[in-house]
Amino acid sequence: MGAVQSSTKTFWLAVKAFGELNAEFRALLRRASQAPGLPVPNPSPSYWLEDPPFPDLVDTLSPALPEAADIVIIGSGITGAAVARTVLRESARRRGRAAASPIPRVVVLEARALCSGATGRNGGQIKSAPHEAFAAFRATLGPARAAALTRFQLAHLPLLTDLCRARGWAPAECREVETVDLYLSDEDRDAAFASVEELRKWVPEIEIKTWDGAGAQEVNRHVKGAISYVAGALWASRFVSCVWEELLARFEKHLSIETHTPALAVRTAGRDAAFAYEVVTGRGVVRCDHVVHATNAFAPQLVAGLRGKLTGVLDTMSAQRPGADFPALGGARSWTVVYDGAFDYVTQRPAPPAAAPAGAGSPPQGDIMIGGGFARAREECAAMVGVWDDGRVDAPPVAQISGIFPTLFAPRWGAPAPGSRRARRAWTGVLGVTGDRRPFVGRLDAELTGRSPPRGSNRDDAAAATGVRPGEWIAAGYCGDGMVWAWLSGTALGVMLAGAEDDDAPPEPGRPGGALADWFPRDLEPTPRRLRRAGLEALAHRFF
């Protein structure tokens, strides 16, 4: 009888625990599915936004808000810059062949200062873990489509480095690096090695080296294994500033950037209106035919159908000074530290251009940029999900990323450099995470927006003649890997908006050659069918 009572008690304790977890998960889903609101007016100061290369652009805006445009882009980060650059350049190229082809008028709306969202707050890496990405895509799409998505990510590194080299955008510090993933447990190492072997079968051109515990412990005895491959690094906000500066110089009559002008609402115009949409701001209304949502985690604010499909996740970044004994690598390496299913990510800026004075000892080193600490947040990281407040900085993640590298590289870290504080800055940024771990890129269906452009608008026939009818568009939800998603996602939208999807374009710095279908994976399109399967409940295993 006692055994029966004990079993019964255990059963009901299990039921209670499950019920509590289920209640917690439902509460998490409710929070993650709410409207994000507008970006907070007082974000934590980001290291990346210090010393901008073009100070006049930071708070740029017109004396009066433009009343009309062909295209309104909401968001001035890397996605918005890629959309604007592509649609303007594609339209100009077409106009060179047909004088009647117009160059569209583009207005960019930014809620705060230029590039002050996720692009200006990120980790400074052009990197994903390709073996992990491939495994995640394969689970739902199969190996061939997973390989196409992985190649799309990998294409960003040569495109961005070639573009910066060709345009002379030295402030962006865009460069190729050797990246090393360090595993602190046998289980994480073995799982990574197995994923690498599977990736090699489907993306054989990729080169990844592996080290077992004996080889990897050259770094530290805590390291159980490592892999290395080619990745990249850049100062993303400076890169975007270079793009905007060049576009404003070339397309002065066709482009305006309106900072501190949040988009409050999007509504359709009347049937006989000259334009399809009206974008409402605190400074007035901009009428247009196309609206581009380039706001990543904040896209559900204006696209209600994305709530429950795309949410914000708060992540923590820091800038630190390396210890006096840290190896001088000249900004040519980055790292990821993997532990207990979580990870922290690290890169280093190139050394300052000024040489060390004679007799000064070690050469000067660039700051080390460390982000992560996600698993150390309250409620085992669940407290950071459904959070869009990048003014908030919590202590546990900061403590984690402040201690991981000095611990891991001991004794080759050393004392703090004389006269400098080790931790220079800590800040947060908001990641946009989707239920199926893929961004949404393409035209938005009225089922998602709740808005249908009037078919009888005066502009509809003209828009249809170019092959691009009025509509709303999106590139968002990069799941923490924005630098290997955003540029080509924005470029793809620009091609679509220019009506150039079928053009066999020559390759050029920053843009692949060929027609859009040759390089853009259609698995990124935000079709209603895909959205119905991309609910955030698919992330339950990550948090519970």
pLDDT digits (tens, 9 = 90+) for 310-336: 999 999 999 999 988 888 888 999 999
Q: pLDDT of 103-124, one tens digit each? A: 999 999 999 999 999 999 999 9
- Whether residue 400 sits in one domain with residue 316: yes
* 417 inside domain: yes
* 85 inside domain: yes
* 42 inside domain: no
- Whether residue 291 sits in one domain with residue 178: no
Domain boundary among 429, 445, 475: 429
- Whether residue 229 sits in one domain with residue 344: yes
* pLDDT at residue number 424: 82
Measured distance between the N- and C-terminal CA atoms of the chain, rounded to whole angstroms: 34
Three-state secondary-structure class, residue 48: helix
The number of domains in the chain is: 2
Q: pLDDT of 191-222, one tens digit each? A: 999 999 999 999 999 999 998 877 666 667 78
Q: pLDDT of 470-488, one tens digit each? A: 999 999 999 999 999 999 9
The residues pairing with 265 across neighbouring beta strands, listed in sequence order, are 280
CATH of the domain at 406: 3.30.9.10
Range of the domain at 417: 174-235+312-354+362-429
- The HSE-up count of residue 178 (CA atoms within 13 Å, CB side) is 10
* 483 inside domain: yes
Backbone angles phi, psi at 374, to 5 degrees: -60, -45
State the Cα–Cα distance between residues 226 and 341, nearest whole angstrom.
15
* pLDDT at residue number 407: 86
On whether the CB atoms of residues 432 and 312 are closer than 8 A, the answer is yes
* 304 inside domain: yes
Which has the minimum average pLDDT: 61-70, 129-138, 373-382? 373-382
Say whether pLDDT at 358 is over 60: no
- For residue 17, give the DSSP letter: H
- Whether residue 485 sits in one domain with residue 372: no
Write down the pTM of the prediction. Answer: 0.92
Say whether pLDDT at 544 is over 50: no
Say whether pLDDT at 24 is over 80: no
* pLDDT at residue number 464: 43
Domain boundary among 382, 412, 429: 429
Q: Find tokens 């390496």 and name the residue.
A: 333
For 379, residues 6+ apart whose C-beta sits below 8 A from its C-beta are none
Q: pLDDT of 375-391, one tens digit each? A: 777 666 778 899 999 99
State the Cα–Cα distance between residues 345 and 337, nearest whole angstrom.
6
- Whether residue 283 sits in one domain with residue 248: yes
Task: Determine if the peptide bond prior to 411 is cis (ω within 30°).
Answer: yes
- Whether residue 526 sits in one domain with residue 386: no
CATH of the domain at 300: 3.50.50.60
- Whether residue 512 sits in one domain with residue 445: yes
Q: Can you give the length of the chain in residues?
A: 544
Q: Find tokens 């001088």 and name the residue.
A: 328
* pLDDT at residue number 354: 60
* 258 inside domain: yes
CA distance to 257, 341, 365, 517, per residue, from 327 (Å): 42, 28, 9, 44
- Whether residue 535 sits in one domain with residue 451: yes
* pLDDT at residue number 420: 57
* pLDDT at residue number 164: 98
State the Cα–Cα distance between residues 301 and 118, nearest whole angstrom.
16
pLDDT band at 100 (very low <50, low <70, confident <90, very high): low
Say whether pLDDT at 136 is over 60: yes
- Whether residue 339 sits in one domain with residue 296: no
CA distance to 72, 84, 151, 278, 379, per residue, from 510 (Å): 22, 13, 16, 32, 41
- Whether residue 449 sits in one domain with residue 425: no
* pLDDT at residue number 22: 76
- Whether residue 529 sits in one domain with residue 463: yes
Say whether pLDDT at 86 is over 80: yes
Q: pLDDT of 156-190, one tens digit each? A: 999 999 999 999 999 999 999 999 999 999 999 99
- Whether residue 328 sits in one domain with residue 217: yes
- 50 CB burial (10 A radius; 0-12, 13-18, 19+): exposed
Rounded mean pLDDT, 427-449: 96
* 72 inside domain: yes
* pLDDT at residue number 52: 96
* 8 inside domain: no
> What percentage of the chain reaches a pLDDT higher than 90?
72
* pLDDT at residue number 255: 97
Rounded mean pLDDT, 236-244: 98
State the Cα–Cα distance between residues 119 and 237, nearest whole angstrom.
6
State the Cα–Cα distance between residues 369 and 346, nearest whole angstrom.
6
Which has the minimum average pLDDT: 24-28, 235-239, 453-457? 453-457
Say whether pLDDT at 282 is over 90: yes
Beta-sheet pairing, 440-443 with 277-281: unpaired
Domain boundary among 429, 455, 485: 429
Say whether pLDDT at 419 is over 80: no
